[in-house]
Each structure stands twice: as structure tokens, then as C-alpha cells.
Structure 1
Amino acid sequence: MTSPERPAPDRHAPRPASAPAPAGRRRAAARPAWILVVPATAAALLAVLPLGYLAVRALEHGPAYAWDVVADARTGELLLRSLGLTAAVVAACLVLGVSLAWLTVRTALPGARAWSVLVTLPLAVPSYVTAFAWLSAAPTLAGFTGSALALTLASFPYVYLPVAAALRGTDPGHEEVARSLGHGPLRTFLRVTLPQLRPAAAGGGLLVALYVLSDFGAVSLMRYDTFTRGIYTSYRASFDRTPAAALSAVLVLMTVALVAAETRTRGRADYARTGTGTARRAVPAALGRWRPVALAWCGVLVAASVGFPLAVLGYWLAIGSSATWDPAGLTATALTTLGVAAGGAALTTLLALPVGVIAARHRGRVAHLLEQAAYAGHAVPGITVALALVFFAVRYARPVYQETPLLICAYAVLFLPVAVAATRAAVLQAPPVLDDVARSLGRSPFGVLREVTVPLAAPGVAAGAALTFVVCMKELPATLLLRPTGMDTLATRLWTETGSGSFAAAAPYAAALILLAAVPSYLLGRHRT
């Protein structure tokens, strides 16, 4: 309590430079407990393992040999093909995602809430299933056109979700002021709304770009050569892994450059409100005579991304004979898929928990390094992760080579960023003062984590685990290389049957994969709307 001789300090007065930081900042800067640092360090080391593999393998025969691979004309062709496909898909996804977000959030679109859920369902349809549907219906689409179409229809929700969330969070007063000054709806959108959406759109576009660069299934089915297909071909065609490693290193450099470019597009402008603002929604814009066009636009996109693949699968299921149906094999493959996906989601969530808590509750060099290392999976495609783990298992852990634990570790490396981001966001929403109260009552760091932090963050952590479960079920290239001998998942069986042209035999596995992935995808869509 402040004594009568000294007046209470003004909370709003600036602090001298030598004044101590508030308690919250002192806690954030404190070192994290060892109970968090040890497992977080293990997760970080696992995440950066593929990068170490690339450095060792690419230089195994000397820098000159690696440079010959990188400087080869074939590498340049793969680079141009990959960048061209990425640019086309990102541009299309930005148009689709931003337009759908604006229609479902800021306009009087009939059934806007239902459309908000429907446009997230393509997350349950893997890109190679979309490619399978369009290729079986129109074989002439094979190549760049079919690859761009399949990847766009599978990945535009990555732009829609963050842009829709940004539209719900931005202050509609800016747009109202613009309209009061005489700006029309289009000019207001282009000059006021769109600049506020730039960070969300850029982030979504980055996710799409990373997805396209790491995709293997769609481009393989469409027979369009990109870096991932070139790496897989090089790995299968030769016992020398150096060319595959050199190509993977180029792909990693491309993804790092994309992340840096996305960071620059954010700029330094402030897009947040200066205060908490008024909790009100924007007045929905009337569509008028454009209402049928808007409904048609939403309907065509949902039909093309979800309805058409389901219709094609229904057609192949209907014409399939008893020879193409194997209920026992389908059931066993589905159970295997659920098992490895559940194992991957569990391990990934356990590894992400200490990293997410440290990232949310602490600052400093250690916390920054652990968080950045955990995000290394963003820069490494699945096929590169598989090559790294094969190299590690053959040399240092032979008993786990081509065993299920190695495949689950690959899922953890690939999708650790997904779980870390969800965990960090969930922990940030939990008041840190409750951790202080628990410590003041004598709880150990582990007790605080178990009894306070984790229970408060559990809904967000569970959402991250559900999303990780979905992407583990759909993962293809790492599963192809690391699955135990004789084991199939729905993704690998679909890829095998489609590669041999057995569309009717592939249809049951594709339908089962969509059905299993649709449930958590639907729940995630409802949770975010």
C-alpha cells in the first residue's frame, strides 16, 4: 500500500529507462523450466534432422559434384515448371479465397453460414483425389492444366480461412467512412478493405505456395514434372542419393525465399485497432441483382472442389465389379490409416506442447531458437523428410528402418508447425496470472503445466491435433518411402491403383479417405465460422 507521504504513481506516465520491467515482462523474459526445455529441444532436433541430412548428402561427393547436379539443364527446367505452377495456383487461390471470404462475411449472401462450412470441405479432399477425379473424367487434362486445376481446388481454403477471420476482426468503421465520402462499393473494397486483408491473404498465399512446392500426388498422377517428382524419380532410379539431396536443397532454398518474400509483403503498416473497439458486426452489403451471380459463384466452386470428385467416385463405385471390391482389404487399410494418423497426431501434439508453451510464455534466445527450429518442417517437403529418416535409420537406428515408428516420426517432422501454431495460440489465450497463482501455492513447474496451462489451452490444442490427424491421413510421399513392407494406407493404395489406371479399384479407397477426413474437417470449419 502506498504511504501518505508519497503519492501513488501515475500508471500512464512514461517509465524511466532504468525502471524495472513490469511483472508480466519479467516472467516472459525468464528462462523456461527444464521440464519444458528438454522435450522442446528433442522436438527441435527432430525437426532440423532433414536439414542436416541435406548438408551431409549433398556434399558427400564434394561441392563440385553437387554443383553439377544443381547447374544441370534439367534442374533449371524443373525450377521453371515448379515456379510457374506455384504462381498460377497462388494467383487463382487468392482470387477464390478473397472473393468467397468477402461474400460469406460481408454481404447478405443467402445461407452465408452454410456456405462458410461448405467452402472449407475441400480440406478433406486430398489433391491427388481431386487429380484422380478430373483425370479419370478428362484424360486430356494431364499436364500443367490438370495439375493447376487440382491443386487450386484443393488448396483455396488455405486463403479463405485467414481472410474470412480477418474480415470478421477488422473495424467496419473504416469502410463506412469511405462510403460516406462518396466511394462506391468497389472502390471502398479496393482502397480500404483489401489493404487490411493483405497480411492474412499473404499468409494464406504462402501456405498455398508451400503446399504446391511440396505436393507429390497430384503432379505425379497428372504426369507433370516438378521438383518433388524429380526428387522421387532420382531416388528410385539410382543408389546414389546425392542428386536427390542436391535437388532437395534447391527446393528448400526456394521455400525459404518464399517465406522471406511473404514477410516483406506484410510491410510495416499497423492493421490492428488502437483499442478494443465496439463489438459489432458490419452491416451486410446488399447484393441486389448480383445475388444470382454470387450464389452461382459459390455453387460452382463447391461443386468443382467437392461435388465433382464425389460424383466421379460414385460413378466408379457404381460400375465397379465384385473383382474390384475388396471389403476386407478396404477395412484393414482404413484401420491402418487411422492408426498411423492417430499415432502421428499424438506424437506431434506431445512434441508441440512444450514448444508452444515456451513460445507463448517466454522470450529470449533459447525460446526463439526452439520455436524457429520447430518450424523447419515448413521448408522441407515430405519426400526430403523421408530421405533424411531413411539415411538416419540405416546408419544409426537400423531396427526401426521401414517400421511404423519411423513413419510416425516423419509425420511429426512434417506437421509439427501445424501443432505448434495451434498450441501457441491456445496458450496465449490463457491468462498467465493463473500460472503465477499456482506457483505461489507451491506447485512445481510440471504441476503448473499439468493442472493449469494444459487444461486451459486444451480446446485449442485439440483443434491442432484434429488438423494434424487430417493431414497425416492425406500424406503421400513420405508414406510411400517409409511404410513398412506390406503395409498400405488409403493414400498409398489409391496412388498405386490410379498409377496403373485401375480407377474403379481406386475409387473405394478414395471415398473412404474423404469420408474419414471429412468429419474433423467439418468440425474445424464450424469451429472457425
Structure 2
Amino acid sequence: MTASTASWRPGRGLRPPSGGGGYRLIVGAAVLTGLLSLLPLAFVLYVATTSGWDTIMDLVFRPKVGMLLVNTVLLLVLVLPLSAALAVALAWLVERTDLPFARFWSWTAVAPLALPAFVHSYAWSAFAPRFHGIGAAVLISILAYLPFVYLPVAAQLRRLDPALEETAQSMGKTPIGVFFLVVLPQLRLAIMGGTLLIGLHLLAEYGLFVLTRFDTFATAIVDQFQSVYSGPSANLLGGVLVLLCLVLLGLETRWRGRERYARVGSGAARPHRRRALGQYRWIALLLPVAFASLALLVPLTTLLRWLWAGGAAIWRFDYILPSIGQTALLAATGAVLTTLAALPMAWLSVRAPGKLQRALEASHAYVGALPGVIIALALVTVTVRIALPLYQTAATLVFAYVLMFLPRALVGLRTSIAQAPIELERAAASLGRPPLNAIWHTTIRLAAPGALASAALAALGITTELTATLMLAPNGTRTLAMRFWSYTSELDFASAAPYALLMIVLSIPLVVLLQLQSDRVDQI
């Protein structure tokens, strides 16, 4: 192990530095969060149990469900590898080459996060009305969600120790060989975390696929509730989504690997030498230009066209101002609570992997694959039958947000904690600090940028969340997403445009925070 890089392999007998009561408190907090996260699953199982085997056979084992399964799996198979490959290529060009205007392209690669996925779809539906089906679903999904992989990969590329690559080059490895043998393995955690987030979003996304006319389990579940309010059918389909999520989590855990790479000392802070692209310098621009044009130029141009067509009449400030305030308050509260709830599990995932950790992590992450309507219905049932005073309150709505966006916070925190050397926790503990105090003053401080980024990701999701908000919001609550969708459902695209614009404006500071924290990763 070099002086600049420490690799902790949990399987080699190392124990986390937090022992005794401190470790038990962390496990207890993670178990409590995991149990609360299982409420929607318990509701789905309850519906399945009370429905009976005959009903399950009739509602699940039918051609329609087979078609939905094929569509959903095909979407994952196409979007995930394409998003990962394009994100790694884009991050490599921006961070490691003399690509012209690299800083500008770095911002354009992150900027699509400011546009909700259903706003991307709304814009493309107006821009190319005949563009729908699997092709539209795949393209718009990549444009909307690619930043989830780009951000951690770009940050990791800036942090890697250049000495490792230089050593490989001195041994005669070609640049391509160095990339695949040295660089790519160290990007695995970032790539797998980002693709997991995209996969969970694809399983739960509703608005994007409705507007592209591509049926998935999520669209079928919501349609069941909106058309015939078929609770058993929708919840049994939700059970299939849970199974798909568990498969996705299992694959991500297996491919993620067990190695953790962390830096001790300042060796990795040395800047990398950018590779000269030579005659390919301007050709390489095609990738960032194409991505920026499709992900930003098309949606913004379409949105401005609708704003121009609507004129001043569409700016109803008596509706707009309350929607802004309610959206901002819910996003800030939900983001902070979600990040705090994910912190114990993120620490266990890195410092104490094992069977218990894998089970707890699955309980934290699976809920991200459930449509908001399933989570909302579960909470409605629980509050009505057990805690009636909490029915249709802000507390229940925020709790739903915490459940839905735990995976976002968990992935970001896990990656940041993995970069904090375990030796610092051990050193703090050996100097007499209590276990939790040692973790707080070492790992948590080093992971603070990742925690801010996780909170920003959760806030972005809350700002644009729709289905759960519609079912759980207290009377009088009308977020920007709710207003936008009500006009879009009536095909009044002009009236919906101000709310789309304001969601983007509200999301921009969060995206800027994500990018700034990503830029600072090499200073940690």
C-alpha cells in the first residue's frame, strides 16, 4: 500500500473503529430507518395476502404484465449501460484532456438535473409530437438522468492518484490499457452508484413515460388508480416492481466490489496532466455539444416558445407565489431529514459490510423503485387505521419524501464515506475520543461535501415529485409540480410553462451546489 492510497478490504478482518455502544447506536438507527422503509412493502404483501392466490394469478400472470415486464427490463438494459458509457466518456474528456471550453461543458453536463424528467418529456412532446415509444423513452431518460453518473465519475477522476497511472505507463502500458487496467476499476463505485440511482428512477418514473406513450409498471399502476381505483391490481404490480428493484440492488452490490480506495496524505491532490487530443481535439467536441443541445437547447427553446405564446395572461401570481413557497419549504425540510436518515446506513455500508448490512441497505434502497402512488397509499392506510391525526398532514408528506429519496442520499453519502480513510477514525479513537465523536470529527467532516450533495439531490427530487404529493398533501397545498401537471393533463401547455420554468429556476441553485461540491472533492 503506497503512502498516498490506502485500500481497505473489509473481508480481511478489519473491524470498524466504532465499538460498543457507539456501533450499536449506529446499527440501531439504521435498523429503525430500515423498518420504517419496509412499511410500503408490508402494505404490498398485506394486499397480496388478503387478495388470495386466485386473484394473484388473474392479475399478475397475464399477457399485459408480461408486456410491462419486457418494456421495463428493455428500458433498463438500454438506458443503464448507455448512460454509464456516455457519462464516463464525457467526464474523461472534460477532466483529463485539453478539450476546448472544458469548464463550460462540465456545467452543461450537470445542468439537465435542473429540468425535471417530465419537463424533458413535455418539451420533446411539443418539439417532436410523433417521437414516442421506446426510442423516445430511452433518449429522454438518458438526457434527464445521465448527470447522476457524470457527477460522481468526474469527481472521482479528479481525486485519483496520478502516481498509479504514471507507474502503469512506465511499465509500457498504452493510454487505453492504463484506462481499463488502472482508472476504470477505481471508478467502479461511482459508476455503480450512479447507475443504481438511474435504475431506481426508471422503475418509478411516471410522467416521462406517459408523455412518451411508453408503458411501464409505474404508468400501469397509476392508471389503475386513476381509472378504476383497482387497489389489489396496482399493489400487486407494485410487488413486481419490488422484485425488480431487489434484482437491481443485488447486481449493483455484486458488481460494485468490496475494495475501498482512500487517500492518506497529499499525494493524490497533485493535479493530473491533461492529455493532448491533437487533431481529434475539435472532433471530441461533438459529444458535449450533442448532449448539451439535446438535453438543454431543445427543452429550453420549447419552453420559451410556450411562454411567448401564452403571454402575460399565464402568469397567475396569486397561484404562483404560494406554490413557490410551499415547494421550497417541503424540499428543504425533506432534504435535511432524508440525509440524516441515510447517514447511519451509509457508514455501515462502507465500514461494516456483511449480511446484516446488505439486508439493511436493501430495505433502504428498494423503496426508491416504488411509484409514489404506492408509498402514498400505504401511508394513507397506516394513518387512517393507526394514526388518524397524521392523515393528510405535512409530517406524513415529508415522511413519504424521506422514504422515496433515501436511495439518492445513500449513494452520495456512501461514496464520500468510502473516500475517508478508516485509519483516521482509528487514530481519533486511540486518542481517547468516544466512538461516535471520533466518527463525527473525522469521517463525517470529510464526507460533508458528499452530504451536501446528497441533500441537494434529495431536494431536487422533492421539488419535482408529483404522485405522492397529490395523494398526501394537506388541503390547500399546491406545489409547482402539482400545478404544472394539472395544466399538462388538460393539454394546456402554455399555462403549464411558467411552472416548468419556476421548477427549473428553483432547481438551479441545487445543481450549482452539486457541481461546486464535485469540484471541491480533490480538496478533501
385, 394, 407: which one aligns with 2:397? 407
- Measured at CA, do residues 503 and 265 of structure 1 come closer, stay the same or move farther in structure 2, by a change above 3 Å? same
Residue 230 (str. 1) matches residue 185 (str. 2): no
Is the aligned partner of 1:67 residue 2:62? no
* 1:99 aligns with one of 83, 89, 97: 89
**Which one of 41, 44, 51 corresponds to residue 41 of structure 2?**
51
Residue 293 (str. 1) matches residue 280 (str. 2): no
Gaps of 5+ in 1: 1-20
> Is 1:258 equivalent to 2:224 in the alignment?
no
The question of whether the paired residues in 2 share the 8 Å contact of 1:357 and 1:424 is answered with yes
Select which of 146, 150, 154 maps to 1:164. Answer: 154
Deviation at 1:198, TM superposition (A): 4.7
Give 2:491's aligned residue.
Answer: 501
- Residue 325 of structure 1 aligns with which residue? 315
Q: Deviations over 1:459-503 (max 9, x none)?
A: 543333232222211222222332234422111221221222111
Structure-2 change in CA distance of 1:411 and 1:55 (3 Å): same
Q: Aligned in 2, Cα 1:507/1:57: closer, same or farther, shift over 3 Å?
A: same
Residue 475 of structure 1: aligned partner: 465
Letter in 1 for 2:130: T
Give the match for residue 513 of structure 1. Answer: 503
Q: 1:401 to 1:32 in 2, by over 3 A?
A: same
Amino acid at match of 1:472: I
Displacement after TM superposition at 1:243 (Å): 0.9
Report Cα offsets for 1:107-154 as digits up to 9, x if no partner: 111222332222111111111011111111111113322222221100
- RMSD between superposed Cα atoms in Å: 3.4
1:286 offset after TM fit, Å?
Answer: 1.3
| Aligned equivalents of 2:112, 2:391: Cα separation in 1 | 34
**Distance apart, 1:418 and its partner CA:** 3.0
> Is the Cα–Cα contact under 8 Å of residues 348 and 416 in structure 1 kept in the other structure?
yes
Amino acid at match of 1:56: Y
Instruction: Choose which of 197, 211, 215 in structure 1 pairs with 2:201.
Output: 211
Q: Please, which moves more after superposition, 146-155 or 89-98?
A: 89-98
The answer to which of 164-173 and 151-160 deviates more is: 164-173
Partner amino acid, structure 2, of 1:69:
L
Q: Work out whether residues 202 and 266 of structure 1, in 8 Å CA contact, stay in contact via their aligned partners in 2.
A: yes
8 Å contact kept, 1:214–1:228: yes
| CA displacement, residues 338-376 of structure 1 (integer Å, 9 cap, x when unaligned) | 121122123323433454566667678777765553334
Q: Which residue number in structure 1 is paired with residue 367 of structure 2?
A: 377
5+ residue gaps in structure 2? Answer: 1-11, 520-524
Residue in 1 that maps onto 2:128: 138
Residue identity matched to 1:351? A
Report if the CA contact (8 A) 1:153-1:304 is conserved.
Answer: yes
Give the TM-score of the pair, scaled to structure 1. Answer: 0.84
Indicate the larger mover: 290-299 or 372-381: 372-381
Distance 1:197 1:434 in 2: 29
Between the two proteins, the alignment pairs up a number of residues equal to 503
What's the secondary structure of 2:76's corresponding residue?
helix
Partner of 1:307 in structure 2?
A: 297
Normalised by the length of structure 2, the TM-score is 0.84
Q: Deviations over 1:182-230 (max 9, x none)?
A: 7765566566655554554344333222221111110112222110000
Q: Is the 8 A contact 1:382 1:478 kept in 2?
A: yes
Q: Secondary structure at the match of 1:321?
A: helix
Offset at residue 257 of structure 1 (A)? 1.1
Identify if the C-alpha distance between structure 1 residues 87 and 454 changes in structure 2 by more than 3 Å, giving closer, same or farther. Answer: closer
Distance in 1 between the 2:356 and 2:411 partners? 18
**After alignment, is 53-62 or 373-382 more displaced?**
373-382
Secondary structure of the corresponding residue to residue 99 of structure 2: coil
CA distance in 2, matches of 1:451, 1:185: 39
Equivalent pairs: percent with the same residue?
37
The answer on 1:84 being equivalent to 2:82 is no
Contact persistence 2:245–2:366 (CA under 8 A)? no
In structure 1, the partner of 2:377 is 387
Aligned pair partner of 1:154 in 138, 144, 154: 144
Q: Which residue of 2 aligns with 1:30?
A: 20
